[in-house]
Structure 1
Amino acid sequence: MTTNGFSAPLFTPGALPPGKDKHHIVVLEGIHASMPSFDFPHTIDIYPRTTPAEVAERIKDATIVIACVVPVTPHDMDKAPHLGILAVMAVGIQWVDKQDCARRGVTVTKCPGGNVDAVTEHFLGLYFAARKRIVEVHNATTKTNEWLEKGTLTKMWPSGPPMGCRQETLGIMGYGTLGTRLETLAKSVGFGEVLVSERKNASTVRPGRASFDEVLKRATVIGVCLPKDHDTIDLIGETELRMMRKDALVVNIARGGIVNERALATALKEGWIAGAATDVLETEPGGPGTSPLIPDVAKGEDEVPNLTISSHIAWFTQSTIQNYQRLLKEGIEGWVNGTLQQSADKVHKVVVVHNGRVWN
């Protein structure tokens, strides 16, 4: 190991293994998006899907691995002696063991900000679906005679008409790129008030923010858009759900497990809150019986009421795919060309781990 003129150690980014004249790329989840073209000599294996048990065998000869959701663990990397870069075609990388990658000299990149517009727009879709119960109304209209017999479906709101945007108070949990964009969109569509939550259990409240408990008690819509980490798992559980208004909605566009699924199912069944919508689940892909939010009706389990679920699809737009392809290409080619680190304290924005250092 040598140095490169900066303070960080150099693990020879882009170097080919002895006896090899091309890089070998392994794509573990090709179903999500087409790969960009890469402007360096390489071979490539693209697998539509990969289970955790298949990762080690598939990456054993790779110098470059492209992943998305399926974890590439330290155990998997033990079987891949030539691995130089793990490129994650996503924004969230909670599953990556950054310290282990730094120790190995494996570069890690991601696609920061690539899906912001898409995900925050999807929040609005989920909000309107939940508040206006669009899925339930559709099902009642297409699968029953209720509208024909009763002449109206307004009684699906037993407590009276739902709020419109001007009556809503949005509480944003997570004020990074997603949260700030969500604030802009919410104000644009006419939300009456926007509260930005301070961290849970924080000793002080920063200017422009409201305490975590105040947001829970005042908000009519909780927007969850913060990263999943050790201190955000079960951020919203039974205690927090019981603190909320009975007319409140919870909309999760972040990661499964930040809102405790069993507690949320109970809250909806017992009417602690008015409704919820989520694009993410703790176990994905999901289906009947995989989550407390998706009971297996065929086995006699009761459905969770006033709940809308989409299949981790919030990111999926043309612009997101283009952003991901561009950022993926920039990260991998930057590693191959040795240009990801631009100075002693500056790296390309896609970099998470590089030259033996965790950058973000």
Structure 2
Amino acid sequence: MAIEHVTLDREARPVGQVLRIKPGQENLEIQYTGLNWSRPAQVTFKYQMMGLDRDWVEAGTRRAAYYSHLPPGNYTFRVVADNGDGVWNMEGRSLQVTVLPPFYRTWWFATLLLVVVAGFVGLAWQVRVARLQRVHTAQLAFSRQLIASQENERKRIASELHDSLGQHLLVIKNRAALGERATHDHRAAREQFDEIAASASQAISEVREIAYNLRPVNLDRLGLTAVIDEMIEKVSSVSGIEFSTDLVPLDRVFTPDSEINIYRIIQESVSNIVKHSQATKANVELWRADGDLHILVRDNGRGFNSGPVMDKTGSPVARGLGLTGIAERVRMLGGMHSVASTPGYGTTLTIQVPLPSPAGAGEA
């Protein structure tokens, strides 16, 4: 018997050589024949593509084998014939077939891909490390600013207690001593007592101011919304900036700790407008939407470049404790914030804070 013809995608290929199938070549046809001059029609065949077929394929009298989409690899095609009397010629004929893999399944491409992936992983790791270093640097800068701010606040409170409250108490003490000596002069004693009352009233006012700066007393009495509105009205009256407000009721929506954070965020935002914006108008809006509290603070002031500020090493530089403190409080509340500003066109601060579940609202 013999293998007569080999065609690959209907193109004849040499029979006596190793058949190489390139990527994209799909349809293989192998024609064979058996020699039996007396009864050629009774010759039957079976074939096997070793490495692909698990067993012999009974072809009967068909004299062709068909394969398509052979996987990459090395194969041996074998065909044997029966002479019609049940005697098989097991020596048969064979053909070596090599199916070449596409480039993306070759070892060199896998190696190249591994190198590229490793490069990307290394680059991503370096970017992440650099980002963590920048965040760490920013946190250290914020911590230093926070410590300095706390020290300055302690100095300010100590100075206020010494210079104002201490002086008033000293006046009260001296006036009381003078009044005690003027027991026979009722008019002089009355003047001393009036001075004592005036100094005491002024001392009480200043103590209230100091306490308000530490924590607004009315926050627990009147609620968050009223205290925010009161604070903005007070700032508007003394700053010359026309503030407008649109505040959704927020009383007992948040926990006390969250309430003071929200109050400080708005207070610091308003304070930044007064200190830096040179604005004539500003507005503060609070509303609820999609399970979040939205805060908007906007002014028509001089604005600034809101892009990140970097030092010579490429590390972020904090703009000041105001915006940094706002960002830290928003982070503590699990929210997000953004600052949009352009020189000459004012500044807009937007904040989004998740509302607590009803079960946890207003709990201490």
Tell me, yes or no, whether TM beats 0.5: no
Larger fraction in strand: 2
Range of TM-score over shorter length? under 0.3
TM-score w.r.t. the length of structure 2 is 0.21
**Bigger Rg over Cα:** 2
Larger fraction in helix: 2
TM-score w.r.t. the length of structure 1 is 0.21
